[in-house]
């Protein structure tokens, strides 16, 4: 058995996947996830299914698992689990549907002790997780303009559930992830970052179970920054908080095809061995097209009107005859590129499905993504878009291809601007002026966030001939989920899970550093 892990606020399992995918020289998993706790029922179902695959030896998930994710109507989840009762029972125990902060503490403790075999915590184990971050995000704080509502948001203090488990079970090592907005968040005039770090440093004192010297943790950066001393953050009362960048990991600098900037805290108990290295920086980045360009081409659908491949194609080929197109003015090059793109639309594209056969591999990270037993890709189907958005998406993708950057609202013809109350403000200020954002070929993507579940405006495919937003699988590729990682639930919920996750490949690299501490 590997080093035990407890995963809190697990989401669909990005952190856990990274740790559980670390394999030793004997081909065994270095880490063993004993318990994942998640409140969202669809994310928990995803966790449970992935936990099921880990009950088998590495690379030996059963054939009927693949039949299930290929959407074989003869292989339901119920039948799959009944076919492998011992493994499914263990998976069901591992992936627990519960809301920390509302589930009674006694029940949480009981489940953790069960995960540890009914005993106290072992001497070697790791706590991982990311307390919900919506309250710390810059967008979340902007939306809560009412100061009282913001100050009273209970989500600010969900980290204390994580803290309580540290105090109760004293893990030698923990890894905690959150948005960088935490560093500037103030609640009732108190900086949340200072409070959280101080509490994590002295968890017994913070939870009223002991003094400051009874249990102490030190924090180590995962990336080399200025302002650190021997890689150790000095959080003594006399010291100033290290600069914010010391806590932030820029995922795109470490082999992830996405600009995802997150606080990742590596906490080590003061009596434990200290880490000797940090994350390696990649000399060259990985671009969007290098990880999604191999996926089957799809069309979007027409929303609020009849849809078919022929009607969709006609809606786009109509663009050169539209009023806004003929009013583009002096930008002849863009007008020519748009006309060419509208005529290059591939006929008879379909919209994808839950599973699509394919033998293609991405240009980069193929060993990480590709599973030859899968025989294709799952969760790869498109949204529908209103006709006006099809025109906006084609315009945006062609503009990005011509000028090397995604257009802001001021770059759009007036007739293509959406009828939204914030558009006028966005045209004259910087806030939300990039309402339609293309993920540009040749560059890493922008941050994949849970808002992708609402609409696709920030995630427009770079290929004008597909004229659409990204599929769940494309977003999952940008998040570095392996292709055999299946997301449960309705498509909106699948997007939500992907956007909330930690990139598994980044977690895998962190897991390697953590493994050296054992």
Tell me the CA end-to-end span of the chain in Å, nearest whole number: 14
d(CA 412, CA 191): 40
Alpha helices, DSSP H only, in 348-415?
Answer: 366-369, 387-403
pLDDT at residue number 146: 54
Residues with Cβ within 8 Å of residue 470, at least 6 apart in sequence: 292, 439, 452, 456, 459, 460, 461, 478
**pLDDT per residue as tens digits for the range 450-504:** 989 988 999 999 999 999 999 999 999 999 999 999 999 999 999 999 999 999 9
Residue 222's nearest CA partner among 186, 173, 163 is 173
d(CA 478, CA 469): 14
pLDDT at residue number 427: 53
Q: CA separation (Å) from 192 to 103, 189, 195, 236?
A: 24, 9, 5, 16
Residue 128, exposed/middle/buried by CB under 10 A (0-12, 13-18, 19+)?
buried
Residues spanned by CATH 3.90.120 within the chain?
288-485
Q: Radius of gyration (Cα) for the chain, nearest Å? A: 24
SS3 34: strand
Residues spanned by CATH 3.40.50.150 within the chain?
3-41+94-282+501-515
Pick the CATH number of 288-485 from 1.10.287, 3.30.70, 3.90.120, 3.40.50: 3.90.120
Backbone dihedral region for residue 27 (phi beyond 0: left; psi -120 to 50: alpha; all else: beta): left
Backbone dihedral region for residue 336 (phi beyond 0: left; psi -120 to 50: alpha; all else: beta): alpha
**pLDDT per residue as tens digits for the range 103-153:** 999 999 999 999 999 878 999 999 999 888 555 544 454 444 556 554 454
d(CA 83, CA 77): 10
Per-residue pLDDT for the chain (518 aa), expressed as one digit of tens each?
899 999 999 999 999 999 999 999 999 999 999 999 999 999 999 999 999 999 999 999 999 999 999 999 999 999 999 999 999 999 999 999 999 999 999 999 999 999 999 878 999 999 999 888 555 544 454 444 556 554 454 445 688 999 999 999 999 999 999 988 777 666 566 667 788 888 999 999 999 988 778 899 999 989 986 444 444 545 454 455 455 567 799 999 999 999 999 999 999 999 999 999 999 998 889 999 999 999 999 999 999 999 999 999 999 999 999 989 988 877 899 999 999 999 998 888 999 999 999 988 999 999 999 999 999 999 999 999 999 999 999 999 999 999 999 999 989 998 998 876 565 555 555 555 678 999 999 999 999 999 899 889 999 999 999 999 999 999 999 999 999 999 999 999 999 999 999 999 999 999 999 999 99
Alpha helices, DSSP H only, in 202-249?
Answer: 203-206
pLDDT at residue number 124: 96
Residues with Cβ within 8 Å of residue 148, at least 6 apart in sequence: none
Dihedral of alpha carbons 307, 309, 312, 318, sign: negative
pLDDT at residue number 1: 82
Classified by CATH at the fold level, domain 3-41+94-282+501-515 comes out as Rossmann fold (3.40.50)
Q: In degrees rounded to 5, what are phi and psi of residue 6?
A: -115, 130
pLDDT at residue number 241: 46
SS3 27: coil
pLDDT at residue number 15: 98
Whether the CB-CB separation of 5 and 128 falls below 8 Å is answered with yes
pLDDT at residue number 494: 97
The residues pairing with 352 across neighbouring beta strands, listed in sequence order, are: 381
d(CA 327, CA 279): 51
pTM of the complete model beyond 0.95: no
**pLDDT per residue as tens digits for the range 311-357:** 999 999 999 999 899 888 778 999 999 999 999 988 889 999 999 99
**Eight-state DSSP code of residue 84:** T
pLDDT at residue number 233: 47
Residues with Cβ within 8 Å of residue 264, at least 6 apart in sequence: 175, 176, 177, 222, 247, 249, 510
């Amino acid at each position: 058995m590997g080093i035990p892990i407890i995963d809190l606020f697990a989401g669909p399992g990005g952190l856990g996947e990274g740790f559980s995918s670390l394999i030793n020289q004997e081909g065994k998993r270095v880490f063993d996830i004993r318990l994942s706790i998640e409140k969202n029922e669809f994310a928990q179902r995803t966790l449970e299914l992935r936990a099921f695959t880990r009950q088998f030896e590495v690379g030996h998930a059963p054939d009927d698992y693949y039949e299930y994710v290929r959407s074989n109507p003869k292989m339901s989840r119920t039948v799959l689990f009944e076919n492998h009762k011992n493994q499914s029972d263990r998976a069901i125990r591992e992936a627990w549907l519960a809301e920390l902060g509302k589930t009674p503490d006694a029940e949480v403790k009981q489940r953790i002790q069960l995960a540890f075999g009914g005993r106290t915590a072992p001497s070697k184990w790791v706590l991982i997780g990311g307390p919900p971050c919506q309250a710390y995000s810059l967008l979340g704080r902007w939306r809560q303009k009412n100061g009282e509502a913001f100050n009273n948001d209970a989500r600010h203090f969900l980290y204390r559930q994580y803290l309580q488990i540290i105090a109760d079970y004293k893990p030698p090592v923990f890894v905690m992830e959150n948005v960088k907005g935490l560093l500037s968040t103030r609640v009732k005039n108190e900086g949340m970052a200072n409070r959280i770090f101080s509490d994590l440093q002295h968890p017994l004192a913070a939870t009223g179970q002991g003094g400051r010297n009874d249990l102490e943790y030190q924090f180590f950066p995962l990336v080399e920054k200025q302002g650190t001393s021997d890689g150790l953050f000095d959080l003594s009362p006399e010291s100033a908080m290290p600069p914010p960048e010391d806590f932030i990991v820029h995922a795109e600098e470490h082999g992830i095809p996405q600009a995802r900037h997150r606080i990742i805290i590596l906490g080590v108990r003061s009596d434990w061995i200290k880490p000797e290295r940090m994350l390696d920086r990649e000399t060259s980045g990985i671009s969007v097209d290098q990880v999604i360009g191999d996926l089957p081409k799809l069309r979007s659908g027409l929303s609020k009107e009849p849809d078919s491949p022929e009607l969709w194609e006609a809606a786009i080929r109509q663009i050169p005859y539209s009023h806004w197109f003929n009013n583009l003015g002096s930008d002849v090059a863009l007008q020519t590129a748009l006309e060419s793109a509208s005529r290059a639309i591939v006929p008879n594209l379909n919209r994808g499905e839950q599973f699509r056969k394919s033998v293609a591999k991405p240009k980069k990270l193929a060993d990480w993504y590709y599973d030859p037993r899968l025989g294709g890709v799952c969760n790869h189907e498109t949204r529908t878009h209103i006709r006006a958005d099809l025109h906006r998406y084609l315009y945006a993708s062609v503009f990005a291809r011509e000028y090397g950057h995604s257009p802001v609202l001021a770059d759009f013809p007036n007739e293509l601007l959406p009828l939204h109350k914030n558009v006028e403000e966005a045209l004259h200020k910087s806030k939300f002026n990039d309402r339609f954002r293309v993920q540009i070929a040749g560059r890493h993507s922008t941050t994949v966030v849970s808002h992708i579940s609402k609409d696709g405006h920030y995630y427009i495919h770079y290929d004008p001939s597909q004229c659409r937003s990204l599929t769940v699988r494309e977003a999952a590729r940008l998040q570095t989920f392996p292709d055999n990682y299946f997301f449960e639930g309705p498509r909106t919920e699948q997007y939500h899970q992907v956007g909330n996750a930690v990139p598994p490949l980044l977690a895998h690299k962190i897991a390697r550093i953590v493994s050296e501490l054992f």
